[in-house]
Structure 1
């Protein structure tokens, strides 16, 4: 959105240009944002790529400061949004975050797996892009490994449990029933002409993943930190990144404990309506273990979650807010075993050709308690 009166403020052109350049230097980000033209590459994950992305941020920040003052409301909002994004990203670079890129969820290795899971493989062009990424999976891992090794040599390391998780994910994704192996098999069945390349690419990815996992365990893990906590300074920086505001940790903790106490009291009252003679712990155990309160299979769970999403959208639309038809579709998908457990949302593509989707990682469970997921 831009001002309805007067000439278009140059902040919009700068923002558009930044999105295009950011997509080119961070193709995984482009895939999740739905910016077309980059789905066949990983980008430079080596230290040189870190420098390239930092230079883009710095250059854009300087160009933003050189723009004329904003006048209209939406011009001001656009300028502020771009400035806040650039400042947060630059702060990460100033504090060496790219060299601490080993984490259970928010890091390159799980992002690579998630990219290949979310990426569309319907058309010939999409299939070719997906396969090219799989074929260069090892080279991308090598670039990433070089970057975190620079951090290791400088004493910038993460907690040992984060390292263990990433090593496990590297192996799981390319195991016989891993997410990448499974999707490559699906593509081979749909397009038999690609089967040979897919088999070779999976073999290469498996070898590269094992090499990276072994390097993590032998070279990185011995220097990893024993404590899981990241420390107050880094925690507050990441809180600022997620919340876009300054957080008072003592105040936030006190508020959270108050809410937990309130929720616990409500849970106890609700449990008594289910079984007046049972404790909250006993009721929770029943909800987790009784087949009557569980989906009998992953497929049944996915179907049930899809029905709930569709029903929720239908109920809320027009009653509490308006949901445009172009973004009303939401797909529920399951991740193959080996990914971090949990659920996450992938927004629609920029052109809305790819609908929003919710991904559930259920591990190897066959019976899924609904109590923990709904």
Structure 2
């Protein structure tokens, strides 16, 4: 039995637009969800990029708050997306991005691990990988700028997390680390 195709509602449109916004603002998330049009770049991890993300979440939440629920699917979508956006804004208001550094799931790991999900079968794939790698210095500089902003405000990650992430980065960038091994795969 097939289900009839759903006619998109205003809430569906807001939700789809939010996915597009997230993909644009955070190309790593786009890669994780199989949207490869942004594979050549990273998010803007700078304070301005962090603020742009919060502004986008506020706009989406405002749009969602006035959208009328038309059915059960809308009710679930509105509830779930509202909670997601509210959490995003709570984290922003708590200055979480200013101290988002840990050994498991922070931009320090995401910037490295996204390469695991990128296609590498063709020359074009490797060209995209190369473009993203070329964007690494700017991404890392923006991230460092945000962490420095946290330092200036006294909003800091735990010292042990900093020490351990420095060790991870040293391993990623060593002569036989992840990046050296990964790009060696591109050699003819």
1:148-297 residue pairs with structure 2 within 5 A?
A: 148-189=147-188
Using the TM superposition, give the Cα deviation of residue 4 of structure 1 relative to its aligned residue in structure 2, in angstroms.
5.9
Of the structure 1 ranges 138-147 and 116-125, higher mean CA displacement relative to structure 2 is found in 116-125
Q: What is the TM-score with the length of structure 2 in the denominator?
A: 0.93
Q: CA RMSD in A?
A: 1.7
Match of 1:74? 73
Provide, for residues 139-167 of structure 1, a one-character-per-residue CA deviation record: whole Å limited to 9, x for no partner: 21111000000000100111111001111
Provide, for residues 121-150 of structure 1, a one-character-per-residue CA deviation record: whole Å limited to 9, x for no partner: 123332111111112212211110000000
Query: Using the alignment, how far apart are the partners of 1:123 and 1:78 within structure 2?
Result: 38
Say which SS state the counterpart of residue 188 (structure 1) adopts: coil
Using the TM superposition, give the Cα deviation of residue 7 of structure 1 relative to its aligned residue in structure 2, in angstroms.
5.2
Match of 1:240? none
Q: Do residues 9 (structure 1) and 5 (structure 2) align?
A: no
Instruction: Judging by fraction of residues, say which structure has more strand.
Output: 1
Match of 1:26? 26
Paired residues of 1:117 and 1:180 also in contact (CA < 8 A): no
Instruction: Judging by fraction of residues, say which structure has more helix.
Output: 2
1:32-181 residue pairs with structure 2 within 5 A?
A: 32-68=32-68, 70-181=69-180
Query: Using the alignment, how far apart are the partners of 2:5 and 2:124 within structure 1?
Result: 41
1:313-328 residue pairs with structure 2 within 5 A?
A: none
Say which SS state the counterpart of residue 60 (structure 2) adopts: helix
Query: Using the alignment, how far apart are the partners of 1:145 and 1:53 within structure 2?
Result: 17
Query: Using the alignment, how far apart are the partners of 2:29 and 2:18 within structure 1?
Result: 13
Provide, for residues 267-310 of structure 1, a one-character-per-residue CA deviation record: whole Å limited to 9, x for no partner: xxxxxxxxxxxxxxxxxxxxxxxxxxxxxxxxxxxxxxxxxxxx
Gaps of 5+ in 2: none
Residues matched between the structures, number: 186
Using the TM superposition, give the Cα deviation of residue 17 of structure 1 relative to its aligned residue in structure 2, in angstroms.
0.8
Query: Using the alignment, how far apart are the partners of 1:78 and 1:4 within structure 2?
Result: 19
Higher relative contact order (CA 8 A, sep 6+): 2
Q: What is the TM-score with the length of structure 1 in the denominator?
A: 0.48
